[in-house]
Amino acid sequence: MLIKNGARELQGSVSDGGSPGGDGYLDRTPYFQFILLSLLFPMWGAAAGLNDILIPQFKSVFTLGDAAAAFVQSAFYGGYFLIAIPASRFIKRTSYKAGVMVGLVLYVVGCGLFFPASHVATYSVFLVAIFAVAVGLSFLETSANTYSSMLGPRRSSTLRLNISQTFTPIGNLAGIILGKYLVFDDAASLEQQIQSVHGAERQQLVERLLGQTLLPYKYILTVLVVLLVLFAITEYPRCRPQAEALSKKAQATVGETLKYLSTNALFLKGIVAQFLYVGLQTAVWSFTIRLALETGAGHNEYTAANYMIFGFIAFFVGKFPANFLMSRFSASHVLIVYGAIGAIVLTCVALGPPDVAVWGVVGANLLMGPCWPTIFGRTLDTIADKRYQETGGAILVMAIVGGAVVPAVQGAVSDVWGSLQFSFIVGAVCFAAIMLFFLDQARHRITDAE
């Protein structure tokens, strides 16, 4: 029996009063459906958190440089980039819920590929599995980010997305904890373990270490199956603009959408800001464990992972004061201050004393929480013609490709300068650019009520 919980009266209840022309936003939020949708957010958080475990694991096992190890993120966010628009077109022709269902199924398939990858034991095969996970996540994020913003009145769309995104660091934290206890050993560092053995013994060690990488995905698979069942039996409102239901004109092609969006300067600036933010976040998380190993005496991967745990806790905690501040002040003004402080903090990390650098990185997580949902929500709201909204949301998800580019840039800076610590100057530049984006937003007087 389908779970109704208020959805029947909200089915097709597109808000006429809250947004002129009935642009798809509901007049009130169906809370059960909103909470269930928000539970998807930690699922891509867990995948991202596990990537930060895989990077030091693969760097040691496959003897990689920092730039090559960052290809984990390139495969992950490259999958988002390539699939986001096809996902948006699928959602356009079906529904947000259908996009979620397809995303969950593909996520299951991607996790399953880690089992053969652990036996083949080559870096390229693991990258394929990571890419496959990202394909499923691209469907999930393209559906869930836009859907969360629309499950209620338009005036609170950005706040609603921030609330959903508050669940993401719970997944990040779960991923890093699973990785710490299931992938890493509390022994000598991986590099020392591998260098201490040779021949058949070394091969056995490598096979064991790679076999451990699939263990967290067994738990993720269990949760995915539960979520898949819950979504299958829960009825959701469609959240479609009224014009879309009445006019074939609503079926805009990708080319028409791109032409429309290319003339929207605020939307284009939002893409750049999202690209840099995701790159910043991914680079900081990718190299936290490596920075702890480089600057902290006596650390192995198992103990260095604690800094990632502290970082994700800071990321989670930081969302609450941000949500509080944005409920009382302009989100643009809040993010201007956050961007400025973040740029200063990561500059101090890059140029300051090595023994406190990793704590500066942990602290920077306090400032990152509100960036993604605020940039996403604000940029999506610049699309006045909602016929282009799904594809516009997909293009914003495609900006996640910054997570493939910026970590590789930071890794290259580390390899060239011979200092991972100095490479965090890349993140400082990204924070400064985000500050400039919100200065521009404030100048255009974009408010939460618009």
Average pLDDT over residues 335-359: 92
Whole-model pTM? 0.72
Contact 49, 174 (CB under 8 A): yes
Query: Looking at residue 423, what DSSP letter applies?
Result: G
234 phi/psi in degrees, rounded to 5: -105, 130
Angle at alpha carbon of residue 429, lines to 362 and 331, rounded to 5° = 75
Query: Mean pLDDT lowest for which of 70-79, 194-203, 361-370?
Result: 194-203
Other Cβ atoms less than 10 A from the Cβ of 201: the count is 10
> What CA–CA distances, in Å, run from 75 to 70, 82, 202, 375, 423?
9, 11, 27, 24, 21
Of 92, 27, 79, give the one whose Cα is nearest residue 391: 92
More confident residue, 192 or 128: 128
Number of residues that this document lists for the chain = 450
Residue percentage of the chain with pLDDT more than 90? 18
pLDDT tens figures, 384-399: 766 777 677 778 877 8
Q: Domains along the chain?
A: 7-443 (1.20.1250.20)
Report how far residue 282's alpha carbon sits from residue 209's, in angstroms, rounded to the nearest whole number.
24
CA 163 to chain centre: 15
pLDDT tens figures, 54-67: 887 777 777 777 77
